[in-house]
């Protein structure tokens, strides 16, 4: 006799508005499987939203029969459920009912490592839960929930509601404190004026693999969606030119606004970027690539970072041939001027990518200056993260400094303080 899978068994449901052509259950299935569920059935209904169940009453009966027949543990909706709809469905179906937002939160909880990520996930969860607790309070007062509504039980729900609000207030203040710490770090970074490049794009496009290749790091790479939740920033030195690169959270179509709001401190890195690398998986179908780029650009717009330079990085060229690559580039026809095709896995065209990054970053300047010999150690110490070269040594040292344009006043003032003379600007 075949043993039943130990994975929780789920049914996936999507209500599609009349006129909509595309359903999203394939992506919902990948999210569910990444969370550890076994998908045993998928149901699509085309209709306008029902106020009581979201889907139609007849479809609820059909799903109830499936729950019994397939021994289902949970039902997952692609559509966002209103609190009353979620409770009505649970009472009718007899199993737990969640929506896509809650499923994404489960994935986030699996991958959360830093304190900041855990707090952001908890904040999103509590804010989403708050109206559901209010619905519990309403039902308790209307005596719709036996065991909760009678006697002191109804007050228990009120107490829980107030506790949730207090916790939201505490987490919000804690995240604000962490945000201020990041602002201090950014201020120090700004003083050095090292350009910042941020990796972004649809989840599972290969951003972390590319980050590892550029920085020689060994961050964990996973095919599971949303495996990166906290921003990691490292310094890259490419042929004497330096820039910072940050790996941040991936996007998904219709990323809930509440998640964007909760992950503000993580996504804020994009606001300060000098250049955005939008990574896409070029091995996918053309329409899928277009959809994912469109979804990523939409999130960037919602965050408020459109208008910044964007370099489209077409990743995973190692698994398609050159003919297919060229055909796809023609068909994609995206309104992004700068593109480069690479393989983060094999390292193909990584140097070309770095060359394009340097070209697109704020313009670098070169200064040659005569510096007192005894001030040389100070110069190397002060500008150890910049390109500094000693060209000649006589009564004074002739040095060459290459640095971002924005540092010009700072370097000019410092050389003057040392008693040096600037000879050449470039």
- Which tens digit of pLDDT belongs to each residue from 258-291? 777 767 666 777 877 889 999 999 999 998 899 8
Q: Would the pLDDT of 228 be above 70?
A: no
Rounded percentage of the chain residues whose pLDDT exceeds 90: 37
Tokens 């070029």 map to which residue?
282
Q: Would the pLDDT of 40 be above 90?
A: yes
Rounded Cα distance between 14 and 25, Å, is 7
Q: Would the pLDDT of 249 be above 70?
A: yes
Predicted model pTM: 0.71
Please list, in sequence order, all residues whose beta carbon lies within 8 angstroms of the beta carbon of residue 264, skipping any fewer than 6 positions away: 175, 179
Rounded Cα distance between 421 and 423, Å, is 6
78 secondary structure, DSSP code:
S
Q: For the ranges 119-128, 134-143, 183-192, 323-332, which has the lowest average pLDDT?
A: 183-192
What pLDDT score was predicted for residue 65? 95
The C-alpha angle 292, 293, 297, rounded to 5 degrees, equals: 120
Confidence of residue 76 (pLDDT cuts 50, 70, 90): very high
Q: Would the pLDDT of 152 be above 60?
A: no
Rounded Cα distance between 229 and 123, Å, is 14
Count the alpha carbons within 13 Å of 385 in the hemisphere toward its beta carbon.
16
Tokens 């330096």 map to which residue?
242
Q: Write down the domain spans for the chain.
A: 9-107, 112-174, 194-360, 364-425
Residues forming a β-bridge with 276: 198, 310
Residue 37 backbone phi and psi in degrees, to 5: -95, 155
Quick one: which of 178, 54, 169 has its CA closest to 114? 178
Residue 61 backbone phi and psi in degrees, to 5: -60, -40
pLDDT tens digits, 374-412: 889 888 888 887 888 899 898 899 999 887 766 777 788
Distance of alpha carbon 372 from the chain centroid: 49
Provide the token pair at 45.
């209904």
Quick one: which of 316, 309, 268, 307 has its CA closest to 288? 316
Task: Provide Rg for the chain, Cα atoms.
Answer: 27
Rounded Cα distance between 176 and 40, Å, is 43
Rounded Cα distance between 344 and 245, Å, is 15
Q: Would the pLDDT of 149 be above 50?
A: no
Confidence of residue 155 (pLDDT cuts 50, 70, 90): low
Quick one: which of 116, 251, 253, 272 has its CA closest to 189? 272
What pLDDT score was predicted for residue 136? 77
The domain made up of 194-360 is a member of CATH 3.40.50.300: yes
pLDDT tens digits, 89-141: 999 999 999 999 999 888 888 777 778 878 888 988 899 888 888 887 777 77
Rounded Cα distance between 382 and 179, Å, is 28
Structural element, H or E, at residue 372: strand 364-372
What pLDDT score was predicted for residue 352? 96
Residue 19 backbone phi and psi in degrees, to 5: 105, -25
E strands, 195-321, are 196-201, 232-238, 241-247, 275-281, 310-315
Please list, in sequence order, all residues whose beta carbon lies within 8 angstroms of the beta carbon of residue 154, skipping any fewer than 6 positions away: 137, 140, 141, 148
Q: Would the pLDDT of 4 be above 60?
A: no
Strand-pair category, 9-16 with 38-46: parallel
Rounded Cα distance between 175 and 173, Å, is 5
Q: Would the pLDDT of 253 be above 70?
A: yes
pLDDT tens digits, 254-265: 777 777 776 766
Confidence of residue 222 (pLDDT cuts 50, 70, 90): low
Provide the token pair at 395.
């009564």
CATH superfamily, domain at 9-107:
GTPase HflX, N-terminal domain (3.40.50.11060)
Average pLDDT score over the chain = 84
Residues forming a β-bridge with 247: 199, 232
Distance of alpha carbon 15 from the chain centroid: 27
Q: Domain 364-425, what architecture?
A: 2-Layer Sandwich (3.30)
The C-alpha angle 13, 200, 129, rounded to 5 degrees, equals: 40
Answer whether 9-107 and 364-425 agree in fold: no
What pLDDT score was predicted for residue 134? 81
Residues forming a β-bridge with 306: 308
């Amino acid at each position: 006799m075949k043993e039943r899978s130990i994975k929780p068994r789920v049914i996936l449901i999507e209500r599609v508005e009349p006129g909509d052509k595309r359903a999203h259950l394939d992506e919902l299935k990948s999210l569910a499987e990444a969370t550890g569920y076994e998908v045993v059935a998928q149901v699509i209904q085309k209709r306008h939203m029902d106020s009581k169940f979201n889907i139609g009453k007849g479809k609820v009966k059909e799903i109830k029969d499936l729950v019994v027949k397939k021994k289902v543990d949970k039902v997952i909706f692609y559509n966002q459920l209103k609190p009353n709809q979620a409770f009505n469905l649970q009472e009718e179906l007899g199993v737990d009912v969640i929506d896509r937002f809650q499923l994404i939160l489960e994935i986030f909880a699996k991958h959360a490592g830093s304190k900041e990520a855990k707090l952001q996930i908890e904040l999103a969860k509590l804010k989403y839960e708050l109206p559901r607790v209010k619905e519990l309070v309403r039902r308790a007062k209307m005596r719709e929930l036996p065991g909760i509504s009678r006697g002191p039980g109804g007050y228990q729900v009120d107490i829980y509601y107030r506790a949730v609000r207090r916790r939201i207030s505490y987490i919000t203040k804690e995240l604000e404190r962490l945000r201020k710490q990041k602002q201090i770090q950014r201020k120090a970074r700004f003083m050095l004026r090292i350009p910042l490049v941020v990796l972004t794009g649809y989840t599972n496009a290969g951003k972390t693999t590319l980050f590892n290749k550029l920085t020689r790091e060994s961050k964990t790479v996973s095919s599971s969606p949303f495996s990166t939740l906290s921003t990691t920033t490292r310094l890259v030195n490419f042929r004497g030119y330096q820039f910072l690169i940050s790996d941040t959270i991936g996007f998904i179509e219709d990323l809930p606004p509440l998640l964007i709001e909760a992950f503000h401190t993580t996504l804020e890195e994009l606001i300060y970027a000098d250049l955005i690398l939008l990574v896409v998986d070029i091995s996918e179908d053309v329409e899928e690539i277009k959809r994912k780029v469109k979804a990523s650009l939409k999130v960037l717009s919602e965050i408020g970072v459109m208008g910044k330079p964007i370099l489209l990085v077409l990743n995973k060229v190692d698994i398609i041939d050159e003919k297919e690559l060229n055909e796809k580039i023609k068909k994609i026809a995206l309104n992004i001027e700068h593109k480069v095709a690479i393989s983060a896995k094999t390292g193909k065209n990584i140097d070309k990518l770095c060359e394009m990054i340097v070209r697109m970053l704020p313009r670098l300047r070169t200064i040659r200056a005569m510096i007192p010999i005894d001030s040389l150690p100070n110069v190397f110490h002060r500008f150890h993260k910049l390109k500094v070269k000693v060209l000649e040594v006589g009564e004074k040292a002739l040095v060459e400094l290459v640095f971002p344009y924005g540092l010009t006043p700072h370097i000019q003032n410092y050389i003057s303080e040392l008693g040096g003379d600037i000879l050449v600007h470039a």
